[in-house]
Amino acid sequence: MNFRDSLNRTMNLYEINNTELGEWAGIAAREISLYRRNKKGINDTTLYKLFSALPSEAKAYCVALMLIEEGKVQLQTDPSLKKGAESIHA
């Protein structure tokens, strides 16, 4: 999974909106929105700022989603977590 898709899933799961992430990362919410909708690319510095601004648990989830494609981890639905949440298993 690429970073854009992973970021979208992570933000949806952790209920982080573009405005919040923008404030944390120092990036305009509109720029994040355009990137998330695949209307605009971002440079490495902006990508780093977005990733770095995520809360720790969200960062781990985002990375795990990208590793799934490589077969390094699995996601499993966990009924003890909130609706729609998944747990990460190495």
CATH code of 34's domain? 1.10.260
Range of the domain at 8: 3-89
Whole-Å CA distances, 28 to 9, 18, 34, 44, 69: 20, 8, 10, 16, 30
Give the model's pLDDT for residue 52.
97
Say if residue 11 is exposed, middle or buried (CB neighbours under 10 Å; 0-12, 13-18, 19+).
buried
Burial (CB count within 10 angstroms: exposed 0-12, middle 13-18, buried 19+), residue 81: exposed
* pTM for the structure as a whole: 0.76
| Length of the chain measured in residues | 90
Residue 75 has a pLDDT of 59
73 pLDDT band, cuts 50/70/90, is low
**5-9, 24-28, 48-52, 67-71: which has the minimum mean pLDDT?**
67-71
Encoding tokens for residue 5? 């898709």
Given a contact cutoff of 8 angstroms between Cβ atoms, the answer to whether 51 and 62 are in contact is yes
Q: How far apart are CA 39 and CA 27, in angstroms?
A: 16
Q: What is the pLDDT of residue 68?
A: 80
- pLDDT tens digit string along 3-41? 999 999 999 999 999 999 999 999 999 999 999 999 999
Work out how many domains the chain is built from and give that number. 1
Q: How confident is the model at residue 78 (pLDDT cuts 50, 70, 90)?
A: low
